């Protein structure tokens, strides 16, 4: 069945993405512990992202030449970007009670990455999967299935808002400079 875009679709999409109060608390509690080590966690996330998905480095002229994880960890530019990523995530997590603020922040991120940086939106899905992997490892003994589901739901919310921003600015998929092999996208843990 073909869907005609309209207010009902948007309302239904937003409702389905909203986290419950319990889910918000679970995400925020986990995040508070992670964010206490903001820079180190951010660097760990980006290093894993670039090691596992080196094609993503094509968008970062300042550190695309770095190959070794230790080199990446020590890069001031990578560390700075890790702090920006963590800061944006922090704004989203702190404002989960305010869907309009979350939507606004993610729209800004999506539009900047589409228009200025020309980043393929699939990398947001990949990066958010890496973030979930790092969280699961950091809290291996304290990451119950309910919390995992809440984070998966947040991952979907982030990706849908970012891709909506790409569509809003008329994003046209760029010709790939490298291929992402099938099966390398982190699976959704919902």
**b/e map 141-179, b = 16+ CB within 10 Å:** eebeeebbebbbbbbbbbbbbbbbbbeeeebeeeeeeee
Query: Which of 180 and 169 is assigned the larger pLDDT?
Result: 169
User: How many structural domains is the chain composed of?
Assistant: 1
Beta-carbon contacts of 151 under 8 Å, excluding residues fewer than 6 positions away, are 26, 27, 30, 132, 135, 189
Residue 12 has pLDDT above 50, yes or no: no
Residue 10 has pLDDT above 80, yes or no: no
pLDDT at 5: 38
- Kindly state whether residue 181 falls inside one of the protein's structural domains: no
pLDDT at 182: 52
pLDDT at 176: 56
Average of per-residue pLDDT across 82-86: 96
CA atoms within 13 A on the CB side of 149: 8
Q: Specify the CATH number for the domain of residue 94.
A: 1.10.490.10
Residue 183 has pLDDT above 80, yes or no: no
Alpha carbons 175 and 122: distance in angstroms, whole number: 13
- Kindly state whether residue 76 falls inside one of the protein's structural domains: yes
- Kindly state whether residue 155 falls inside one of the protein's structural domains: yes
pLDDT at 7: 33
- Kindly state whether residue 1 falls inside one of the protein's structural domains: no
Alpha carbons 42 and 32: distance in angstroms, whole number: 13
Domain residues for the domain of 52 are 18-169
Beta-carbon contacts of 171 under 8 Å, excluding residues fewer than 6 positions away, are 114, 121
- Kindly state whether residue 7 falls inside one of the protein's structural domains: no
Instruction: Determine the 3-state secondary structure of 62 from DSSP.
Output: coil
Alpha helices by DSSP H, listed for the chain, are: 7-17, 21-35, 38-52, 69-74, 76-94, 99-111, 122-138, 145-168
- Kindly state whether residue 8 falls inside one of the protein's structural domains: no
- Note if the pTM is more than 0.95: no
pLDDT at 18: 83
What are the pLDDT digits (tens) for 98-156? 999 999 999 999 999 999 999 999 999 999 999 999 999 998 888 999 999 999 999 99
Residue 1 has pLDDT above 70, yes or no: no
Average of per-residue pLDDT across 17-32: 93
């Amino acid at each position: 069945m073909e869907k005609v875009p309209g207010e009902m679709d948007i309302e239904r999409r937003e409702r389905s993405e909203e986290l419950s109060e319990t889910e918000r608390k679970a995400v925020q509690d986990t995040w508070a512990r992670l964010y206490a080590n903001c820079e180190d966690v951010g660097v760990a996330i980006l290093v894993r992202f670039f090691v596992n998905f080196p094609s993503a480095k094509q968008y970062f002229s300042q550190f695309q030449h770095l190959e070794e994880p230790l080199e990446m960890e020590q890069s001031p530019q990578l560390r700075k970007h890790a702090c920006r990523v963590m800061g944006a995530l922090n704004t989203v997590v702190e404002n989960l009670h305010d869907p309009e603020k979350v939507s606004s922040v993610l729209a800004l991120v999506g539009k900047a990455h589409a228009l200025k940086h020309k980043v393929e939106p699939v990398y947001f899905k990949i990066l958010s999967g890496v973030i979930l992997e790092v969280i699961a490892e950091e809290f291996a003994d304290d990451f119950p299935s309910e919390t995992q589901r809440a984070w998966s739901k947040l991952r979907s919310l982030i990706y849908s808002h970012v891709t909506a921003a790409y569509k809003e600015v008329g994003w046209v998929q760029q010709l790939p400079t490298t291929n992402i092999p099938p099966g390398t996208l982190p699976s959704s843990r919902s």
